Amino acid sequence: MKNNKIIAIIAAIAVLLTAVVCVLVVINANDKKDEENTKQITEDAAEVFLPETVTSTYEDSTDVQGETTATVAPSQTTQPAVDEPSTQSATQAATQPQATTPTQPVKPASKDFDKVFTMPVAPQYIPPDVNVDFETAKVLSYKYDPDGGYFYTDDKNCWQQNFGFNEGYDSMAPLGMMNYDTVRVKFVYDNKEWLVQMWKGQYGYAFVGGEVGVYTRKVGASGTHYNCAKEEDWLNMEMAFVWDRSHDGNYQTIFTRDYTKYWWCTGFVPGLETGAPRDQFRLVTHITFESEEMANAFCTEFEKQGFRRVSKLNNGEIDTFVQVGPDVAFVWQDIVHN
């Protein structure tokens, strides 16, 4: 119990530092705005972005499952054409974060899973033109994917993996200006207690987004603290973040995370939403568990949380899930744990 208290205190300090860094990121972005607005978009693509106000224009289209997805309208900002990057630009590109090269996607264990689930498709993203100081942002282990237009945390190499997770962290999150919904699914498999937890909401005054985390501990452990899953327990998964920006029922797929192994799958984009419940956000997630037995244990608890099993997943039908063998996909919007 004493160790859990120490961990919780350390986590509180980390949350407060997160809030301070988010503020510094915004301040640095404002200071650099005038300089960065003169850069061409090909230079910007190698950098990390953060807007003061998000004003992206979208055209609506409908995917095969009836969900409205977003297609970015052509940019109205004309950038100067440059045949070759300058020496300064090349130097900047070398020091700015680069997108991680995607690994070859792993096929779901259930060969017929694509008959009951289709991951939403995100539009091509045109990033805003305000630069964030990467030296500040990397304190939070943030990286940027210029192709998908989202920030993410590198779960394979981040300081957060040393602290695990417990319900006290969620209670302290508002101190770091993080206001989100969460769902916890706890089950026992292979002589371990597992926690699969999802989050979606506002992260500081800078980002909105979502997360799925995988945690373990020994059977019979007391309290709510779990350790971040070790590499042998990482799970293949993919995730889409869906957002009703206008609060008019027009949910748009903003980005997707590739199907690969994670213990912590995250994604964030610039945005500001206030108030609760945060039903303007959805997470569409697909997880391949280690076995059908493990998936069954997860789904049993998932149904107890109020999620409804269906034979084929419609990405517009909220708080439902589908299972084929070890593969489980779900659409989460309204169910919330404190």
Q: pLDDT (tens digit, 9 = 90+) per residue, 177-229? A: 899 999 999 999 999 999 999 999 999 888 999 999 999 999 999 999 999 99
The more confidently predicted of residues 216 and 81 is 216
**pLDDT (0 to 100) of residue 110:** 83
Q: What is the DSSP letter of 115?
A: G
**pLDDT (0 to 100) of residue 80:** 37
Distance CA(51)–CA(42), nearest Å, equals 17
Q: Nearest 5°: CA angle at 176, between 171 and 182?
A: 45
Question: Among residues of the chain, what percentage have pLDDT more than 70?
Answer: 63
Residue 68 has pLDDT above 70, yes or no: no
Q: pLDDT (tens digit, 9 = 90+) per residue, 9-26? A: 445 445 444 544 443 443
**pLDDT (0 to 100) of residue 105:** 53
**pLDDT (0 to 100) of residue 243:** 95
**Average of pLDDT values for 237-249?**
95
**pLDDT (0 to 100) of residue 59:** 40
**pLDDT (0 to 100) of residue 108:** 79
Closest CA to 100 of 155, 18, 43: 155
**Average of pLDDT values for 281-291?**
97
The more confidently predicted of residues 236 and 77 is 236
Sign of dihedral through CA atoms 244, 168, 166, 151?
A: positive
Summary mean pLDDT of the chain:
75
Residue 241 has pLDDT above 70, yes or no: yes
Q: pLDDT (tens digit, 9 = 90+) per residue, 109-149? A: 788 899 999 999 987 655 555 455 556 555 566 788 888 88
Question: For residue 73, what pLDDT band results from cuts at 50, 70 and 90?
Answer: very low
The more confidently predicted of residues 130 and 170 is 170
Closest CA to 181 of 298, 325, 305: 305
The more confidently predicted of residues 286 and 77 is 286
Q: Walk across the sheet containing 252-262 and list its strands.
A: 252-262, 235-243, 281-288, 327-332, 320-324, 308-309
Residue 232 has pLDDT above 90, yes or no: yes
φ and ψ of 255, to 5 deg: -160, 165
CA distances from 231 to 100, 234, 250 (A): 19, 5, 38
The more confidently predicted of residues 82 and 262 is 262
**pLDDT (0 to 100) of residue 149:** 86
**pLDDT (0 to 100) of residue 278:** 86
pTM metric for this prediction = 0.71
Check: CB of residue 194 under 8 Å from CB of residue 213: no
Owner of token pair 């237009």: 149
Lowest mean pLDDT across 50-59, 245-254, 315-324: 50-59
Question: For residue 78, what pLDDT band results from cuts at 50, 70 and 90?
Answer: very low
Lowest mean pLDDT across 27-41, 144-158, 288-302: 27-41
Question: For residue 154, what pLDDT band results from cuts at 50, 70 and 90?
Answer: confident
Residue 236 has pLDDT above 70, yes or no: yes
Q: What is the DSSP letter of 222?
A: -
